Structure 1
């Protein structure tokens, strides 16, 4: 399957952020990635998941939520990665931008959040209930979304490593606070970063299945693997 890959400077709430957009021919939806905890659009784990989604006919947008200067500051202080309100505001701005782009306008929108980016994704889902169709969290901190959890309408999948016990408990608490359809899937023997053999592949498969079920319109589904 061929795809068009482009890099953009995306205006988002007073800053310009770098984003990598990949649109397969005949794309049936768009998944916007929300990174967190010191990560960026270069995250090898998120890029691996994005590749799987692209092979399923989904466009992906991996965008930084911090500027280069902010990334440098955060790397030394950790002072921005937990600023969920700021991250969510920028993610929402990026989602709005994608909704105006000719390449992606009209595509059903899903969000894939990792670590603190999962909280930002859920806050964005609550802020844009008419636009966000599905959310997937990988080793995320959905609990940090706070009161926004109850306002999320999009079906949400929480994927957590079986060895990541503290984060697993926090995900269980977040699930209990949500009113949207939500499912918690545990990857046996996996730690927080899903570095064990086959663990990330399973995350990607879960994400692909979730977006296929909740993001892609039934008339647009295909047999892409």
Structure 2
């Protein structure tokens, strides 16, 4: 049974602009996972909300937010501006680190499609402050120059029928120097729309985050007891 969940809409103010988000925090959360959406998607993405619900059931807090304002999103090129999206994710991570209910939680990133590139680049920026990363059908190849600096345990999940993206993930996978895993889900396309496939993604992600966040929590408790 999932522990009591605090769920609220948040407004994240950054340098003269405001981003909307949904923050969900279970009691005694293991950590928080910040979602970095793919091009043209938002905090309302049904696939990412499905994954977020599974993470919450594992005792993980989640933050789904709009990486772009409504005005920015009207300019199609912004959806593929990895530099902009990475800086936005870095700034929002700092916001999470200063909120009362999340400031002490280990942080992870879940990146979907092009959002995986900004998640990995932000993870490289923050180093050991980021405890785990998951890429769903991602484009980690768009962050090749930063991958060797990622220290967080990183999981790539790709559909078995998504041949081009498999090749791009394999290329990026070789650049990682951290703990890493590439999981190919048979008979699944890019969006994992086939029956049961998105559930498989969500379960793999929840286990990856929970396992690594639990390790971090235990280390924190040991440090406090000393």
Instruction: Please classify the TM superposition score into its range, dividing by the shorter chain length.
Output: over 0.9
Shift of 1:146: 2.5
Scaled by the length of structure 1, what TM-score is found? 0.93
Matches within 5 A, 1:1-225: 1-74=3-76, 79-217=77-215
Q: Does the CA contact (< 8 Å) of 1:13 and 1:89 recur in 2?
A: no
Shift of 1:217: 2.8
Deviations 1:53-74 (A, max 9, x none): 0001000000110001122332
- DSSP 3-state at the match of 1:206: helix
Equivalent-residue separation in structure 2 for 1:14 and 1:86 (angstroms): 15
Relative distance call for 1:12 and 1:187 in structure 2 (3 A) is farther
Equivalent-residue separation in structure 2 for 1:210 and 1:13 (angstroms): 33
- DSSP 3-state at the match of 1:203: helix
Equivalent-residue separation in structure 1 for 2:216 and 2:69 (angstroms): 38
- DSSP 3-state at the match of 1:167: helix
Structure 1 runs (4+) deviating above 3 angstroms are none
- DSSP 3-state at the match of 2:51: helix
Equivalent-residue separation in structure 1 for 2:107 and 2:95 (angstroms): 12
Equivalent-residue separation in structure 1 for 2:93 and 2:217 (angstroms): 24
Scaled by the length of structure 2, what TM-score is found? 0.92
Q: CA RMSD in A?
A: 1.4
Deviations 1:147-174 (A, max 9, x none): 1111101110000000000001000000
Shift of 1:13: 4.9
Equivalent-residue separation in structure 1 for 2:216 and 2:143 (angstroms): 30
